Structure 1
């Protein structure tokens, strides 16, 4: 029996983990998030505890009470431009909270699975293996790099799962995703500008959740790249979305990083080589076109 505590259960990845793990009779699950449980209507049987990961006493209390075997840490400030403008808040949530979780995991002998990002890299030499040296170009990436250093120095068992451009459909969640944004814009007849000079390996949220579970299931330790396999630009993604929904591709204009004035720089070419996760964990991500189909079906069901 594995006892798994999830942080950030109200977020996209947290929701997908709850959906994946709750039906498994070999898992005792505890979902945690700051504030109320937004998943109560979706998953009435989901055990939930309110936990603010930036409150060390609260983290200690919840981990002490539940005594998990594994903790999957998904909570983070992931809005790249917000991290640039609120550096104090970003550091508190993305680095300091990780230290509190590490402290609790060390004390109660918990296996920590920490979700990280391709934005720890400068994007000059992608796609990256697990051994590549970090060199972030924005503050979000820097806070996540610092968090990785905290995890790497932990005395508990740990795994770092790095991912790229996660997309999916979530319940009661303010942010959209590239698939639905493109679909809805084109259906409304809007011209959209989409960058063609950034390269990523986009990751379906369900695939990332499966990667997290595989890491827990196999008691994996070390760093693993968990993303899609296809290297695509956002422009190429948008064109695939238009193809899937049979929408007017003429409404999609090519853009580059100079088109938009964003506070934070974006790395030009990241993306991951996922061989290690495939061979050691049995990780098998869906294609982007298959991801579009899954997102489309879920969006229709909302």
Structure 2
């Protein structure tokens, strides 16, 4: 089993969970050096997913049966600022992984987002019409489409507000940010006209 974006919050949680299961040989890749305190029972490789030749070589060596693709540019502002980079990371990499799975009968799990919807008629069901407003949402919808069109076996998870305790003190999320503000008696400035669905995941 291969997990991309293994330095991210979800990637680290998946590593921690799956590395305890002896039924899987777990491989992890990230663009930066491994910053997960857990270094046992899995294989880590620092690798730029956007280098298609390196990625192809790695896939041919590891030969994963399952890929959980969590790596992405998730910054809404970052995707707007660099649409070319957003397309390359969020769409082209997903297509390459989907093509690999199609060729090898592998299974791809793609992490997507609720940003594929426009927020006008939620809460949404998985078969509701999409209408992304931001480049981030558009790139994630295109990634869903290229995976579907590849003909590989896949599952797409549209996540909403993934958060929890992270071992890396330099990485934050909405809950940790709010907790820090409250502990310092600092005001919290956030939008007040949004409703977001939540699911609690305990790992």
The runs of 5 or more residues in structure 2 that have no matched partner are none
Q: Find the counterpart in structure 2 of residue 184 from structure 1.
A: 180
Between stretches 120-129 and 194-203, larger displacement belongs to 194-203
The runs of 5 or more residues in structure 1 that have no matched partner are 211-302
* Alpha-carbon distance between aligned partners in 1 of 2:55 and 2:146, rounded to the nearest angstrom: 16
Between stretches 26-35 and 9-18, larger displacement belongs to 26-35
Q: TM-score, normalised by structure 1?
A: 0.64
- The residue matched to 2:27 in structure 1 has which SS? strand
In the TM superposition, residue 42 of structure 1 has moved relative to its aligned partner by 2.3
* Matching of residues 80-119 of structure 1 within 5 Å: 80-119=76-115
4+ residue runs over 6 A deviation:
none
Matched, 1:123 2:100: no
Q: Find the counterpart in structure 2 of residue 36 from structure 1.
A: 33
In the TM superposition, residue 174 of structure 1 has moved relative to its aligned partner by 3.5
In the TM superposition, residue 173 of structure 1 has moved relative to its aligned partner by 6.1
Q: TM-score, normalised by structure 2?
A: 0.93
Matched, 1:49 2:7: no
Q: Do the aligned residues in 1 keep the contact of 2:101 with 2:152 (CA within 8 Å)?
A: yes
Alignment: residue pair count? 203
- The residue matched to 1:193 in structure 2 has which SS? coil
Matched, 1:154 2:150: yes
* Alpha-carbon distance between aligned partners in 2 of 1:173 and 1:161, rounded to the nearest angstrom: 27
* Matching of residues 1-302 of structure 1 within 5 Å: 4-39=1-36, 41-172=37-168, 174-204=170-200, 206-207=201-202
Structure 1 vs Structure 2 CA RMSD: 1.6
In the TM superposition, residue 158 of structure 1 has moved relative to its aligned partner by 0.9
Task: Provide, for residues 226-272 of structure 1, a one-character-per-residue CA deviation record: whole Å limited to 9, x for no partner.
Answer: xxxxxxxxxxxxxxxxxxxxxxxxxxxxxxxxxxxxxxxxxxxxxxx
Q: 1:6 to 1:173 in 2, by over 3 A?
A: farther
Q: Do the aligned residues in 1 keep the contact of 2:16 with 2:38 (CA within 8 Å)?
A: no
Q: Do the aligned residues in 2 keep the contact of 1:151 with 1:158 (CA within 8 Å)?
A: yes
Q: Find the counterpart in structure 2 of residue 298 from structure 1.
A: none
